[in-house]
Amino acid sequence: MESRVNYYGKIFPVKFERAIGEVLIDENNKEYLDFFSGAGALNYGHNHPELAQNVKSFLEQNYIIHSLDMNSQIRKEFLDAFKSIILKPRNLDFKIQFPGPTGTNAVEAAIKIARKATSRTNIIAFTNSFHGMTSMSYALSGSRDHAQSYNTADGAIFMPFDQYESETVDSFNYLKKMIENPGTGFEKPAAIILETIQGEGGINVASKNWLKKIRDFTSKHQILLIVDDIQMGCGRTGDFFSFENSDIHPDIVLLSKSLSGFGLPLSMVLLKPEFDLWTPGEYNGTFRSNNLALRTALSSLNFWKNDSFLLHLSENIKYLKKEISRISQKFDPIVGVRGRGMVWGLEFESPDLSKQVAEDLFNSGVLIETCGPRDEVIKLLPPLNISKENLKLGLNLLSKSIQKFCPNRAQLVK
């Protein structure tokens, strides 16, 4: 009955029945460690007990779930908490827009408001980027399959991401010349959209220096800077926002995936107040937030003022970085290691190897995904609060799987 377009059901060909934390259980009661986290939508794991209890309580009291964008008590509580827990401590001043429920809806809304605010059309995106599957979002995705580039929107212009060619080639200088110099045929864009860490593109990490130069340049030329934090936000990099350690303040920030904390669809566009130029109802939609998703989103914000959670996250980050570095130095066919916080990528010399490792891990009981232009990168996205024991177990299984297909090991670096 289901369309052939189904994807994850084919790369993980079992029927999952239950899940708790970082463990999924299939119909045969086989357990799987989750180093995939719903493509980044489950940063706090599956069915977190505290969030699950809030869902149960919310439903039992017959609170309104669907209300378009009508006012509700839970919406007010969430907005107040997001301001006090997330924005104010980071000295961020944003208006909040709820577009449709998925990340690509947030991208589409951001592009429309950027064009309205600047009266310009073009949008700069980057090589190996990914922003979604609707028309404009897909057009801005450098990692899209060019054989399927039908019906993409106009106005997308691609520039090389940080260190795209090599560490010695200054991609920012190229962008700067294309915009500032006469004779390039380049019209000033409305906005630049970027991921500080490109997830689908291969875990490509933008440097602080590059991000600072992009921010300073966009401010100078009245070009809006949009940070797509849909996969890398909500704590994935160790901070709530992925751009925090770069000391930049974007004009627009996009959140979705783990925003609800429970896997429920929810997305937001954060706008500097001067760019909140919508007229009421100008950007409309039936599912612009959902009160049940806001209930779990509100609860998940409390993790970010919980010392126990923050300490556990910090310890997980240190351990993951150390072990990934050790694994990367152990095997010759691993040609690169990139990441930050709780997102890391191991680049193999061929996509066949990375796919073999991912398939073997699945058979061994670990969910993991490949990424990159040729699927040559193993992407690690375990839950932020994964237990130390299961983090260690998953990484040991990763090392064993790699060893099956990479027998010519490099000398261990001690």
Does 391 or 170 have the greater pLDDT score?
391
Residue-wise pLDDT for 286-342, tens only, equals 999 999 999 999 999 999 999 999 999 999 999 999 999 999 999 989 999 999 999
- pLDDT band, residue 411 (cuts 50/70/90): very low
8 Å CB contact between 264 and 74: no
Interval 46-89: pLDDT, tens = 999 999 999 999 999 999 999 999 999 999 999 999 999 999 99
Q: What is the pLDDT of residue 402?
A: 96
pLDDT at 251 over 80: yes
Best CA proximity match to 344, nearest among 236, 206, 239, 218: 236
266: left (phi over 0), alpha (psi -120 to 50) or beta: beta
Domains delineated in the chain: 8-34+307-405 (3.90.1150.10), 54-305 (3.40.640.10)
**Contacts of 318 by beta carbon, 8 Å cutoff, 6+ apart:** none
Of the chain, the percentage scoring pLDDT greater than 70 comes to 96
Q: Is the pLDDT of residue 15 over 80?
A: yes
Q: How far from chain centre, in Å, is Cα 244?
A: 15
**409: pLDDT strictly greater than 90:** no
For the beta sheet containing 252-255, the strands, ordered from the edge strand earlier in sequence to the opposite edge, are 95-97, 268-271, 252-255, 224-228, 191-194, 123-126, 156-159
**Nearest residue to 50 (alpha-carbon basis) of 313, 301, 291:** 301
**Model pLDDT, residue 154:** 78
The CB-based long-range contact list for 241-245 (8 Å cut-off, 24+ gap) reads: 241/90, 242/195, 242/196, 242/197, 243/196, 243/211, 244/90, 245/208
174 half-sphere exposure, CB direction, 13 A CA radius: 14
**Averaged over 360-367, what is the pLDDT?**
98
pTM here is 0.96
User: Residue 349: pLDDT above 70?
Assistant: yes
Between 149 and 376, residue with greater pLDDT? 376
